[in-house]
Protein backbone atom coordinates (compact mmCIF):
# COMPACT_ATOMS: atom_id res chain seq x y z
CA UNK A 1 0.00 0.00 0.00
CA UNK A 2 2.86 2.37 0.84
CA UNK A 3 4.50 1.72 -2.51
CA UNK A 4 1.19 2.33 -4.29
CA UNK A 5 0.76 5.72 -2.58
CA UNK A 6 4.34 6.75 -3.32
CA UNK A 7 3.94 5.76 -6.97
CA UNK A 8 0.84 7.95 -7.26
CA UNK A 9 2.67 10.91 -5.70
CA UNK A 10 5.64 10.26 -7.98
CA UNK A 11 3.36 10.41 -11.04
CA UNK A 12 1.78 13.66 -9.83
CA UNK A 13 5.16 15.41 -9.57
CA UNK A 14 5.75 17.94 -12.34
CA UNK A 15 9.47 18.63 -11.92
CA UNK A 16 12.66 16.60 -11.86
CA UNK A 17 13.57 17.31 -8.21
CA UNK A 18 10.15 16.20 -7.00
CA UNK A 19 10.27 13.02 -9.09
CA UNK A 20 13.77 12.19 -7.88
CA UNK A 21 12.75 12.75 -4.27
CA UNK A 22 9.85 10.30 -4.41
CA UNK A 23 11.72 7.87 -6.67
CA UNK A 24 14.21 7.32 -3.84
CA UNK A 25 11.43 6.55 -1.38
CA UNK A 26 9.81 4.17 -3.88
CA UNK A 27 13.09 2.30 -4.39
CA UNK A 28 13.54 1.86 -0.63
CA UNK A 29 9.93 0.70 -0.22
CA UNK A 30 10.39 -1.86 -3.00
CA UNK A 31 13.66 -3.11 -1.53
CA UNK A 32 12.03 -3.65 1.84
CA UNK A 33 9.20 -5.53 0.17
CA UNK A 34 11.67 -7.63 -1.82
CA UNK A 35 13.40 -8.42 1.45
CA UNK A 36 10.12 -9.71 2.83
CA UNK A 37 9.90 -12.40 0.11
CA UNK A 38 13.58 -13.26 0.01
CA UNK A 39 13.12 -16.14 2.45
CA UNK A 40 10.12 -17.64 0.67
CA UNK A 41 10.36 -21.42 0.41
CA UNK A 42 7.71 -22.33 -2.16
CA UNK A 43 7.52 -19.24 -4.39
CA UNK A 44 10.65 -17.23 -5.12
CA UNK A 45 11.11 -13.85 -6.80
CA UNK A 46 14.23 -12.87 -8.72
CA UNK A 47 15.08 -9.67 -10.58
CA UNK A 48 17.35 -10.42 -13.54
CA UNK A 49 20.30 -8.23 -14.49
CA UNK A 50 22.52 -7.54 -17.47
CA UNK A 51 20.75 -7.82 -20.81
CA UNK A 52 17.69 -9.09 -18.93
CA UNK A 53 17.45 -6.08 -16.62
CA UNK A 54 13.75 -5.23 -16.35
CA UNK A 55 12.61 -8.86 -16.20
CA UNK A 56 11.39 -10.42 -12.95
CA UNK A 57 11.01 -14.18 -12.56
CA UNK A 58 8.53 -15.78 -10.16
CA UNK A 59 9.69 -19.37 -9.61
CA UNK A 60 7.44 -22.03 -8.11
CA UNK A 61 9.43 -24.43 -5.93
CA UNK A 62 7.44 -27.00 -3.98
CA UNK A 63 8.93 -30.26 -5.28
CA UNK A 64 7.46 -32.60 -2.68
CA UNK A 65 3.94 -31.63 -3.79
CA UNK A 66 4.66 -30.88 -7.48
CA UNK A 67 3.94 -27.18 -6.85
CA UNK A 68 0.42 -27.92 -5.66
CA UNK A 69 -1.58 -24.84 -4.70
CA UNK A 70 -1.64 -25.10 -0.92
CA UNK A 71 -2.21 -22.38 1.65
CA UNK A 72 1.46 -21.49 2.19
CA UNK A 73 2.15 -21.63 -1.53
CA UNK A 74 -0.70 -19.22 -2.28
CA UNK A 75 0.44 -16.82 0.47
CA UNK A 76 3.96 -16.71 -0.94
CA UNK A 77 2.66 -16.47 -4.50
CA UNK A 78 0.50 -13.49 -3.55
CA UNK A 79 3.49 -11.85 -1.83
CA UNK A 80 5.50 -12.12 -5.05
CA UNK A 81 2.77 -10.68 -7.26
CA UNK A 82 2.29 -7.81 -4.79
CA UNK A 83 5.96 -6.90 -5.05
CA UNK A 84 6.03 -6.73 -8.84
CA UNK A 85 2.62 -5.10 -9.18
CA UNK A 86 3.79 -1.62 -8.20
CA UNK A 87 7.29 -1.71 -9.69
CA UNK A 88 7.39 0.82 -12.53
CA UNK A 89 10.85 -0.36 -13.60
CA UNK A 90 9.71 -3.85 -14.56
CA UNK A 91 8.90 -4.52 -18.21
CA UNK A 92 8.17 -8.27 -18.09
CA UNK A 93 7.34 -10.95 -15.53
CA UNK A 94 8.06 -14.61 -16.25
CA UNK A 95 6.33 -17.36 -14.28
CA UNK A 96 8.20 -20.66 -14.19
CA UNK A 97 8.83 -23.76 -12.09
CA UNK A 98 12.10 -24.88 -10.52
CA UNK A 99 10.75 -28.44 -10.23
CA UNK A 100 11.87 -30.45 -13.24
CA UNK A 101 9.01 -31.93 -15.25
CA UNK A 102 6.34 -29.94 -13.42
CA UNK A 103 4.81 -26.50 -13.87
CA UNK A 104 2.00 -26.80 -11.33
CA UNK A 105 -0.05 -29.89 -10.50
CA UNK A 106 -3.08 -27.88 -9.43
CA UNK A 107 -4.90 -27.96 -6.11
CA UNK A 108 -3.33 -29.50 -3.04
CA UNK A 109 -5.78 -32.38 -2.69
CA UNK A 110 -4.36 -33.47 0.67
CA UNK A 111 -5.18 -30.06 2.13
CA UNK A 112 -8.49 -29.89 0.28
CA UNK A 113 -9.60 -33.29 1.62
CA UNK A 114 -9.36 -31.98 5.19
CA UNK A 115 -11.52 -28.92 4.51
CA UNK A 116 -15.18 -28.72 5.45
CA UNK A 117 -17.75 -27.44 2.98
CA UNK A 118 -17.69 -24.13 4.84
CA UNK A 119 -13.91 -23.88 4.43
CA UNK A 120 -13.77 -24.98 0.79
CA UNK A 121 -15.77 -22.07 -0.64
CA UNK A 122 -13.61 -19.29 0.85
CA UNK A 123 -10.42 -21.16 -0.06
CA UNK A 124 -11.45 -21.49 -3.72
CA UNK A 125 -12.47 -17.83 -3.74
CA UNK A 126 -8.99 -16.97 -2.48
CA UNK A 127 -7.43 -19.15 -5.16
CA UNK A 128 -9.52 -17.42 -7.82
CA UNK A 129 -8.43 -14.03 -6.50
CA UNK A 130 -4.75 -15.08 -6.56
CA UNK A 131 -5.04 -16.20 -10.18
CA UNK A 132 -6.83 -12.98 -11.09
CA UNK A 133 -3.97 -11.01 -9.52
CA UNK A 134 -1.71 -12.52 -12.20
CA UNK A 135 -4.10 -11.48 -14.96
CA UNK A 136 -4.34 -7.98 -13.46
CA UNK A 137 -0.60 -7.33 -13.27
CA UNK A 138 -0.02 -4.19 -15.35
CA UNK A 139 3.05 -5.46 -17.23
CA UNK A 140 3.22 -8.40 -19.69
CA UNK A 141 3.39 -11.80 -17.96
CA UNK A 142 4.80 -14.88 -19.70
CA UNK A 143 4.18 -18.43 -18.46
CA UNK A 144 6.98 -20.93 -19.10
CA UNK A 145 5.37 -24.38 -18.95
CA UNK A 146 8.10 -27.01 -18.79
CA UNK A 147 6.00 -29.84 -17.40
CA UNK A 148 2.61 -30.81 -16.00
CA UNK A 149 0.08 -27.95 -15.76
CA UNK A 150 -3.15 -29.53 -14.57
CA UNK A 151 -6.29 -28.06 -13.07
CA UNK A 152 -5.37 -24.94 -11.12
CA UNK A 153 -1.88 -25.10 -12.60
CA UNK A 154 -3.25 -24.53 -16.08
CA UNK A 155 -5.58 -21.86 -14.71
CA UNK A 156 -2.55 -19.95 -13.43
CA UNK A 157 -0.94 -20.21 -16.87
CA UNK A 158 -4.15 -19.08 -18.58
CA UNK A 159 -4.06 -15.90 -16.50
CA UNK A 160 -0.74 -14.97 -18.13
CA UNK A 161 -0.62 -12.85 -21.28
CA UNK A 162 1.63 -15.21 -23.22
CA UNK A 163 2.20 -18.94 -22.72
CA UNK A 164 5.16 -20.99 -23.87
CA UNK A 165 5.31 -24.75 -23.33
CA UNK A 166 7.72 -27.57 -23.98
CA UNK A 167 6.43 -30.08 -26.48
CA UNK A 168 6.27 -32.80 -23.81
CA UNK A 169 4.36 -30.72 -21.25
CA UNK A 170 1.00 -32.12 -20.19
CA UNK A 171 -1.94 -29.77 -19.68
CA UNK A 172 -5.62 -30.01 -18.91
CA UNK A 173 -8.53 -28.75 -16.85
CA UNK A 174 -9.36 -32.11 -15.30
CA UNK A 175 -11.62 -31.06 -12.41
CA UNK A 176 -14.70 -32.89 -13.67
CA UNK A 177 -12.89 -36.14 -12.81
CA UNK A 178 -13.27 -35.07 -9.18
CA UNK A 179 -16.94 -34.12 -9.60
CA UNK A 180 -16.12 -30.40 -9.46
CA UNK A 181 -15.44 -27.71 -12.06
CA UNK A 182 -12.46 -25.39 -12.61
CA UNK A 183 -12.66 -22.77 -9.86
CA UNK A 184 -9.70 -20.52 -10.63
CA UNK A 185 -11.09 -18.87 -13.74
CA UNK A 186 -10.52 -21.80 -16.11
CA UNK A 187 -14.07 -21.99 -17.48
CA UNK A 188 -13.80 -18.34 -18.52
CA UNK A 189 -10.20 -17.93 -19.63
CA UNK A 190 -9.95 -21.16 -21.61
CA UNK A 191 -13.19 -20.34 -23.44
CA UNK A 192 -11.87 -16.88 -24.28
CA UNK A 193 -8.57 -18.33 -25.48
CA UNK A 194 -9.86 -21.08 -27.79
CA UNK A 195 -13.62 -20.56 -28.04
CA UNK A 196 -16.51 -21.97 -25.97
CA UNK A 197 -17.10 -25.14 -28.02
CA UNK A 198 -13.51 -26.41 -27.80
CA UNK A 199 -13.23 -25.38 -24.15
CA UNK A 200 -16.38 -27.34 -23.35
CA UNK A 201 -14.99 -30.43 -25.05
CA UNK A 202 -11.72 -30.26 -23.10
CA UNK A 203 -13.40 -29.58 -19.74
CA UNK A 204 -16.28 -32.04 -20.18
CA UNK A 205 -13.85 -34.83 -21.14
CA UNK A 206 -11.19 -33.78 -18.58
CA UNK A 207 -8.77 -34.21 -21.47
CA UNK A 208 -5.02 -34.02 -21.00
CA UNK A 209 -3.03 -32.77 -24.01
CA UNK A 210 0.64 -32.12 -24.75
CA UNK A 211 2.46 -28.92 -25.64
CA UNK A 212 2.29 -29.44 -29.37
CA UNK A 213 -1.47 -30.02 -29.24
CA UNK A 214 -1.85 -26.99 -26.97
CA UNK A 215 -0.15 -24.78 -29.57
CA UNK A 216 -2.36 -26.17 -32.35
CA UNK A 217 -5.49 -25.33 -30.32
CA UNK A 218 -4.25 -21.90 -29.24
CA UNK A 219 -3.94 -22.75 -25.54
CA UNK A 220 -0.27 -21.70 -25.74
CA UNK A 221 1.49 -19.28 -28.08
CA UNK A 222 4.56 -21.44 -28.66
CA UNK A 223 5.57 -25.06 -28.19
CA UNK A 224 9.30 -25.80 -28.17
CA UNK A 225 11.29 -29.02 -28.13
CA UNK A 226 12.38 -29.89 -24.61
CA UNK A 227 16.09 -29.76 -23.85
CA UNK A 228 18.29 -31.88 -21.56
CA UNK A 229 18.01 -29.33 -18.74
CA UNK A 230 14.22 -29.45 -18.84
CA UNK A 231 13.86 -25.66 -19.22
CA UNK A 232 13.26 -25.14 -22.95
CA UNK A 233 10.03 -23.20 -22.36
CA UNK A 234 11.77 -20.93 -19.87
CA UNK A 235 14.60 -20.23 -22.33
CA UNK A 236 12.03 -19.35 -25.01
CA UNK A 237 10.17 -17.14 -22.51
CA UNK A 238 13.43 -15.30 -21.80
CA UNK A 239 13.87 -14.60 -25.51
CA UNK A 240 10.33 -13.25 -25.65
CA UNK A 241 11.11 -11.08 -22.65
CA UNK A 242 14.18 -9.74 -24.42
CA UNK A 243 12.00 -8.82 -27.41
CA UNK A 244 9.61 -6.92 -25.13
CA UNK A 245 12.28 -5.17 -23.03
CA UNK A 246 13.21 -2.38 -25.53
CA UNK A 247 9.61 -1.20 -25.88
CA UNK A 248 8.15 1.74 -23.97
CA UNK A 249 6.99 0.52 -20.53
CA UNK A 250 4.02 2.90 -20.30
CA UNK A 251 2.97 1.83 -23.80
CA UNK A 252 3.20 -1.85 -22.81
CA UNK A 253 0.91 -1.30 -19.85
CA UNK A 254 -1.52 0.80 -21.87
CA UNK A 255 -1.64 -1.80 -24.65
CA UNK A 256 -2.32 -4.59 -22.15
CA UNK A 257 -5.09 -2.53 -20.56
CA UNK A 258 -6.73 -1.79 -23.92
CA UNK A 259 -6.56 -5.40 -25.14
CA UNK A 260 -7.74 -6.95 -21.88
CA UNK A 261 -10.64 -4.59 -21.35
CA UNK A 262 -11.56 -4.32 -25.02
CA UNK A 263 -11.75 -8.07 -25.56
CA UNK A 264 -14.61 -8.30 -23.05
CA UNK A 265 -16.93 -5.78 -24.75
CA UNK A 266 -18.26 -4.79 -28.19
CA UNK A 267 -15.79 -3.14 -30.57
CA UNK A 268 -17.19 0.37 -30.08
CA UNK A 269 -16.63 0.11 -26.33
CA UNK A 270 -13.28 -1.53 -26.97
CA UNK A 271 -12.17 1.44 -29.07
CA UNK A 272 -13.00 3.66 -26.10
CA UNK A 273 -10.59 1.64 -23.99
CA UNK A 274 -7.97 2.02 -26.72
CA UNK A 275 -8.54 5.78 -26.69
CA UNK A 276 -8.18 5.83 -22.90
CA UNK A 277 -4.95 3.87 -23.14
CA UNK A 278 -3.57 6.15 -25.84
CA UNK A 279 -4.35 9.22 -23.75
CA UNK A 280 -2.01 7.83 -21.07
CA UNK A 281 1.00 7.74 -23.39
CA UNK A 282 0.56 11.16 -25.03
CA UNK A 283 1.96 13.29 -22.14
CA UNK A 284 4.86 10.95 -21.31
CA UNK A 285 8.52 11.87 -21.61
CA UNK A 286 9.05 8.45 -23.16
CA UNK A 287 6.92 9.41 -26.17
CA UNK A 288 8.95 12.59 -26.67
CA UNK A 289 12.15 10.58 -26.24
CA UNK A 290 10.99 8.17 -28.97
CA UNK A 291 10.41 11.05 -31.40
CA UNK A 292 13.76 12.64 -30.57
CA UNK A 293 15.60 9.32 -30.92
CA UNK A 294 14.00 8.78 -34.33
CA UNK A 295 15.13 12.22 -35.49
CA UNK A 296 18.65 11.57 -34.19
CA UNK A 297 18.74 8.04 -35.62
CA UNK A 298 19.54 6.38 -32.30
CA UNK A 299 17.87 3.91 -29.96
CA UNK A 300 15.49 5.52 -27.46
CA UNK A 301 16.14 5.31 -23.72
CA UNK A 302 12.86 4.89 -21.86
CA UNK A 303 12.28 5.59 -18.16
CA UNK A 304 8.64 4.61 -17.71
CA UNK A 305 7.07 8.06 -17.41
Contact call for residues 107 and 151 (beta carbons, < 8 A): yes
175 catalytic per annotation: yes
172 catalytic per annotation: no
Distance (Å, rounded) from C-alpha 226 to C-alpha 232? 5
DSSP labels, 198-231: HHHHHHHTT--EEHHHHHHHTSSSEEE---TTS-
Candidates 70, 151, 152, 153; catalytic one: 152
Inter-axis angle of helices 196-204 and 186-194, to 10 degrees? 130
Candidates 29, 68, 107, 214; catalytic one: 107
Neighbours of 165 (CB within 10 A): 33
Which residues neighbour 136 within 8 Å (Cβ) at sequence distance 6 or greater?
A: none
CA torsion angle 100 106 109 111 (round to 10): 90
35 catalytic per annotation: no
Candidates 29, 155, 186, 258; catalytic one: 155
Candidates 70, 76, 175, 199; catalytic one: 175
**Is 30 exposed, middle or buried (CB count within 10 Å of its CB: 0-12, 13-18, 19+)?**
buried
225 catalytic per annotation: no
Q: What are phi and psi of 229, to 5 degrees?
A: -85, -10
Give the side-chain half-sphere CA count within 13 A for 186: 30
**Is 146 exposed, middle or buried (CB count within 10 Å of its CB: 0-12, 13-18, 19+)?**
buried
Name the β-bridge partners of 172: 150
Catalytic residue list: 107, 152, 155, 175
Amino acid sequence: MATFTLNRMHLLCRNTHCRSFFAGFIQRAQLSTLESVRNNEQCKLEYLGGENNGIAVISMNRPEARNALGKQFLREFADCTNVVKFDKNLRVVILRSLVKGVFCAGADLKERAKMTNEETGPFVAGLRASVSEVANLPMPVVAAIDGFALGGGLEVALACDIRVSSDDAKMGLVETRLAIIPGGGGTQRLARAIGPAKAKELIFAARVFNGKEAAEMGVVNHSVEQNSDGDAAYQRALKLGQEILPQGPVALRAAKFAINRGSEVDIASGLSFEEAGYSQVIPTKDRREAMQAWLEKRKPVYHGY
